[in-house]
């Protein structure tokens, strides 16, 4: 529909290319039924200002930085740039420096965080977690070794920008997961990167059953299955 409209408004331009640019760079919201869990059909969009009922506020890099650090701090300037897709953000970080707490990582790189952000001890146990495709957790830093070992990156970050669903063990990506549905039977398949201790497998099974019951809430049989090591 957008391509057809643009072809009429700007016949001298490639309507499909302009439509692609609009979808990629104009702030848009995906509206129902597209984006609704378990619902297919054509994808519909509306502009962000129409959705909010008012024009978007001017860009505020300081607020964006603080929101980012609230979720993903401590983080470096390069981490912030990698997550936001923006460049030359050093000045914005420097302006906010008086409001921030700073650290140094093992390589001496400066990291920033909110002054009242929690800072658990290094030996604090992290529960197992299942993370969906394209989740910010695995995309939010330039240095992703803080959550995934370099030797496993190619198993998660695929061609064409695809990012697989992952599972976390002690805060690090330890494998991937997927679901299968056959009639009334729903299965969550865990594909670990290596051997897992029995207690970790038990924790993943418990967490995985809750997840598959949530995803496939209309199934009647639920199974958590461990696949071959990747």
Which tens digits make up the pLDDT trace of 30-69? 887 766 666 667 778 888 999 999 988 888 899 999 999 9
d(CA 49, CA 29): 9
- In the chain, the percentage of residues whose pLDDT exceeds 70 is 96
Whole-number Cα distances in Å, 101 to 105, 118, 120, 148: 13, 12, 15, 25
Q: Model pTM? A: 0.80
Q: Render pLDDT for 110-149 as a digit per residue (tens, 0 to 9).
A: 999 999 999 888 889 899 999 999 999 999 999 899 899 9
For residue 63, say if its preceding peptide bond is cis, omega within 30 degrees of 0: no
**Bridge-based pairing state of the strands 221-226 and 185-192:** parallel
**Quick one: which of 164, 155, 158, 173 has its CA closest to 135?**
164
| Three-point CA angle 92, 95, 101, nearest 5° | 100
Residue ranges of domains in the chain: 2-52, 61-113, 129-226
Mean pLDDT of 140-168: 93
The answer on pLDDT for 1 being more than 80 is no
Name the token pair of 28.
């848009």
């Amino acid at each position: 529909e957008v391509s057809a409209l643009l072809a009429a408004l700007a016949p001298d331009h490639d309507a499909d290319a302009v439509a692609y640019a609009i979808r990629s760079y104009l702030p848009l919201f995906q509206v129902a039924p597209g984006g609704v869990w378990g619902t297919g059909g054509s994808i519909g969009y509306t502009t962000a200002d129409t959705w909010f009922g008012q024009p978007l506020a001017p860009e505020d890099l300081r607020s964006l930085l603080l929101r980012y650090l609230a979720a993903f701090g401590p983080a470096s300037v390069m981490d912030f740039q990698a997550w936001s897709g923006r460049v030359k953000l050093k000045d914005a970080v420097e302006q906010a420096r008086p409001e921030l707490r700073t650290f140094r990582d093992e390589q001496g790189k400066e990291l920033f965080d909110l002054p009242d952000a929690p800072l658990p001890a290094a030996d604090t146990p992290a529960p197992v977690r299942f993370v969906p495709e394209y989740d910010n957790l695995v995309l939010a830093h330039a240095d992703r070794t803080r959550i995934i070992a370099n030797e496993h990156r190619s198993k998660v970050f695929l061609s064409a920008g695809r990012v697989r669903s992952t599972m976390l063990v002690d805060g690090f990506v330890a494998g991937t997961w997927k679901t299968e549905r056959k009639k009334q039977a729903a299965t969550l398949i865990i594909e670990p990167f290596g051997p897992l201790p029995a207690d970790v497998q038990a924790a993943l099974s418990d967490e995985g059953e809750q997840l598959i019951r949530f995803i496939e809430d209309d199934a009647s049989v639920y199974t958590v299955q461990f696949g071959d090591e990747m």
